């Protein structure tokens, strides 16, 4: 696995010579599609689980959790925070597509630990409009996982809140550490 921190020297120049990053991705998709065969799967996750995680590029969730295509729903955002939109996705996942378990994954060295809600004010000053959304920055990753578990467990829209577990992924070791909800 490569991360932006470990991209080989000259790789950025190679991307620029062959077009944009999006060009590179669409070319990769053409190769993928040429060899693609419909797996015949349903939209319902085989393991009946939804995973909510941070969008951080260092998290390869399928590899870290031993998941295969079709095993789970994956919902990602900055921080892996349970927002109204995450509740929306989980509600659809449970009520329309049969998931019953929720796994929440935050991680060490998250970018949301280094910014504050002041970010919204700075955006407002720059663009002339205050964002409607909260940054959801945090200082204590364990407490933020607990808060996210609580938001899932108390949502009136979710049918299944008895199997909600939260973890912190260590970006240096790849290990998950479970967070006690208490």
Q: Which of 111, 87, 78, 106 is nearest to 165 (CA)?
A: 106
Determine the 3-state secondary structure of 55 from DSSP.
Answer: coil
pLDDT tens, residue by residue, 9-49: 555 555 556 689 999 999 999 999 999 999 899 999 999 99
Q: What is the pTM of this model?
A: 0.86
Q: What is the pLDDT of residues 119-163, one digit of tens each?
A: 999 999 999 999 999 999 999 999 999 999 999 999 999 999 999
Q: What is the DSSP letter of 36?
A: -
Q: Give the angle subtended at the CA of 92 by the CAs of 85 and 59, to the nearest 5°.
A: 60
User: What is the per-residue pLDDT for 4?
Assistant: 44
Report pLDDT digits (tens) over 48-80: 999 999 999 999 999 999 999 999 999 999 999
In 3D space, the residue among 85, 84, 87, 122 whose CA is nearest the CA of residue 102 turns out to be 87
pLDDT at 14: 53
| pLDDT at site 182 | 79
pLDDT at 158: 98
Predicted pLDDT of residue 77: 98
- DSSP three-state, residue 164: strand
pLDDT value, residue 50: 98
CA distance 164 to 182: 13
Residues constituting the chain? 182
Query: Given this model, what pLDDT does residue 1 score?
Result: 35
Among 71, 139, 56, which residue's Cα sits nearest to residue 103?
71
């Amino acid at each position: 696995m490569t991360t932006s921190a470990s991209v080989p020297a000259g790789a950025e120049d190679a991307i620029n010579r062959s077009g944009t990053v999006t060009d590179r991705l669409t070319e990769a998709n053409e190769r993928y599609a040429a060899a693609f065969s419909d797996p015949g799967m349903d939209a319902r996750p085989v393991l009946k689980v939804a995973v909510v995680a941070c969008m951080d590029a260092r998290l390869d969730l399928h590899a870290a959790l031993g998941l295969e295509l079709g095993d789970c729903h994956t919902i990602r955002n900055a921080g892996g925070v349970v927002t109204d939109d995450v509740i929306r996705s989980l509600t659809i996942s449970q009520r329309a597509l049969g998931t019953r378990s929720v796994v929440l994954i935050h991680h060490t060295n998250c970018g949301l630990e280094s910014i504050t809600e002041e970010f919204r004010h700075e955006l407002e000053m720059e663009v002339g409009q205050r964002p409607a959304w909260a940054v959801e920055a945090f200082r204590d990753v364990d407490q933020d996982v607990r808060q996210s578990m609580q938001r899932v467990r108390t949502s009136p829209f979710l049918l299944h809140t008895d199997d909600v577990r939260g973890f912190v992924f260590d970006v240096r070791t790849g290990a998950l550490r479970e967070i006690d909800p208490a």
